[in-house]
Amino acid sequence: MGSIDYIVPTWNSDATLELTLSSIQQHGRPNRIIVVDKHSTDRTTAIASGYGCDVISSSTTLGAARRLGACEAQTDLVAFVDSDVELLLEWEEVLQASAEGRYPDAGVIGALYDDGYIRRPTGPISLLGGNGAFGCCVTRRKCVVACTALDGLSSGEDALYAEYLAGKNLRWYILPVFVNHHHVGNVSEAMRWRWLGAGLRQRKGFRPSICKSVLGGAVVGLPMNGLDLSYRKNLILRLNYFIGYMFPERYFEVDREKR
């Protein structure tokens, strides 16, 4: 199996970046590691340089950073690993499935975040228009480059990419493989869900039906995104998601140094 290029978007990510990069080197079979950095003011770029990464500076959105990294990549398949993700030995399964063409209609093959409320699936999940996490997946370089709408998003770009792939009859496969997801700095869980809500607003605009769905799910206890959550936990997450949806200009970007 050949090596592939990895793309790691960063923004004041020094608390976990070394763990991310060392795990890519250990488990990822990287051809190159391309770090697309949003003018970090901490040690992010120094750490990336120390690991021999190609560092590109960009002041754009997260989605644009992903596309920029894909444009710089040289391999047909590319992997996206976010700067708070640690690959584990079982990541090899994602690489093998991607390299072997195990799923001919795959646009993405990815893993799952080990966030404590996701039950390990018993087999691969196949989604047409649905998505897993952009921060731990392998995809086709040409598809990312062609999806120019990514440039407008810093959250929810994974959902937009899944919809783009569905238009080409390509699916998002999620394997029963976990990666460690390290939340860092002062970015609380509430802030992360507000960021996701802001991304939905940026992608879909304001729709009363979305408000009704989010708040109604909070009241009746419908788990957010089908997660394994208690009623109280689901209520908290949905309300923070709604806050982000209502105030996207405040929560659209999350800088770890400033939160």
CB within 8 A of 219, min separation 6: which ones? none
Tokens (6 digits) for 9: 């978007």
Strand pairing class (77-81; 136-140)? antiparallel
| H helices present in 56-188, as ranges | 62-72, 91-100, 141-146, 157-166
Strand pairing class (30-37; 54-57)? parallel
Question: How many other CB atoms are found less than 10 A from the CB of residue 250?
Answer: 11
CB within 8 A of 36, min separation 6: which ones? 7, 8, 9, 10, 56, 58, 65, 66, 68, 69
Reduced to 3 states, what is the DSSP secondary structure of residue 68?
helix
pTM, full prediction: 0.88
Reduced to 3 states, what is the DSSP secondary structure of residue 234?
helix
Residue with token string 């070394």: 18
CATH 3.90.550.10 maps onto the chain at 4-181
Quote the crossing angle between the two packed helices 157-166 and 62-72, to the nearest 10°: 60
Q: What is the pLDDT of residue 259?
A: 42
**Second-level CATH architecture of 4-181:** Alpha-Beta Complex (3.90)
Q: What is the pLDDT of residue 148?
A: 97
**Distance (Å, whole) CA 79 – CA 121:** 22
Question: Strand (E) positions, the chain?
Answer: 4-10, 30-37, 54-57, 77-81, 85-86, 106-113, 125-127, 136-140, 171-181
Nearest CA among 3, 18, 41 for reference residue 184? 18
Q: What is the pLDDT of residue 121?
A: 83
Give the HSE-up count for residue 153: Cα atoms under 13 Å, Cβ half-sphere.
26
Q: How do the pLDDT tens digits run along the chain, 259 residues long?
A: 679 999 999 999 999 999 999 999 999 999 999 999 999 999 999 999 999 999 999 998 999 999 999 999 999 999 999 999 999 999 999 999 999 999 999 999 999 998 767 777 889 999 999 999 999 999 999 999 999 999 999 888 999 999 999 999 999 999 999 999 987 655 677 888 887 888 888 888 999 998 999 899 989 888 877 677 889 988 988 898 899 889 988 887 766 554 4
**Distance (Å, whole) CA 130 – CA 210:** 17
Yes or no: say if 5 and 79 are a contact pair by the CB < 8 Å rule. Answer: yes
Tokens (6 digits) for 50: 């120390």
Yes or no: say if 174 and 93 are a contact pair by the CB < 8 Å rule. Answer: no
